[in-house]
Amino acid sequence: MNEDQVNDRTRAARASFFGALLAGVLACLTVTALTGCATTTAGGTVGADRSQLLLISSEELNQLAAQSYDKLKSEASNKGVLNPDAAMLQRVRTISGRLEAQTNVFRKDAPGWQWEVNTIKSDELNAFCLPGGKIMVYSGIITKLDLTDAELANVLGHEIAHALREHVREQMSQALVAQGVIGAGAAIFGLGGTSTKAANVGYQVLLATRFSRTDESEADQIGLELAARAGYDPRAGITLWQKMTNANQGAKPPEFLSSHPADATRIQRIQNLLPKVIPLYDATR
């Protein structure tokens, strides 16, 4: 047997081994996906309903979120930037409270969460709601964008929607599966550290951002309905993103590489949803 024949047989053996191992990996992932798929929320009027891959305990994640939130509060307090504006804090808490009261439409357990709302004095255009209902609003998003109550309600509704839908839990589950596949591929092909890092970067840039855009779209939908049910005009979602567009001119990557939909895409989606949510808003009046 000459060297070429030996190499051919080696390649064939490796291909056979790879096929069997890949089949096993895929079978394992299929079983995991089937046992881990669920939905965390009802669809609501906007129809935000799909199955999610959930492999991580929500209780553990909520505990981690609470610890992270407490750390952030402690750091902000030490710097003198935690809740320095009593009027702003009261405003944010009032709007948040009205939104929280409507969360039972999507999750029956959500009104009983240990909700907490605070503000940080910062020029940053940012706000978030961690798993379990821990809300933080940076003053810059209110002052720099000169938000109305309805616009602020749309911001908060969007962030609360992320927590209701447990997007962090879902993305961590997706990352676990992706890392398992990447690790298996590295072992099969004998890839070095550089190749494995490239695979990880590829996942983050292409797949992870796609998942995040899906999450953002769902949060827009659910947040819009929460705001409408709480008595805040959902049309403010359009003026909100018009303000965000003006504030972010020239600072955003192309949509296909971004973790957030383009502002124009968001505005169009909100316009398409208005016929569903305006009657909810009108009913509160």
Phi and psi angles of residue 224, each rounded to the nearest 5 degrees, phi first: -65, -45
Residues 84 and 121: beta-carbon distance below 8 Å:
yes
Q: What is the pLDDT along the chain (285 residues), one digit of tens a residue?
A: 544 444 455 445 444 433 443 443 444 444 444 445 667 666 678 766 666 667 777 888 888 888 989 999 999 999 999 999 999 999 999 999 999 999 999 999 999 999 999 999 999 999 999 889 999 999 999 999 999 999 999 999 999 999 998 878 777 776 766 665 445 444 444 444 544 444 444 444 444 444 477 788 889 999 999 999 999 999 999 999 999 888 876 655 444 444 556 678 888 989 999 999 999 999 998
Question: Quick check: 201 and 42 in contact, CB under 8 A?
Answer: no
Measured CA to CA, the distance from residue 232 to residue 154 in angstroms comes to 8
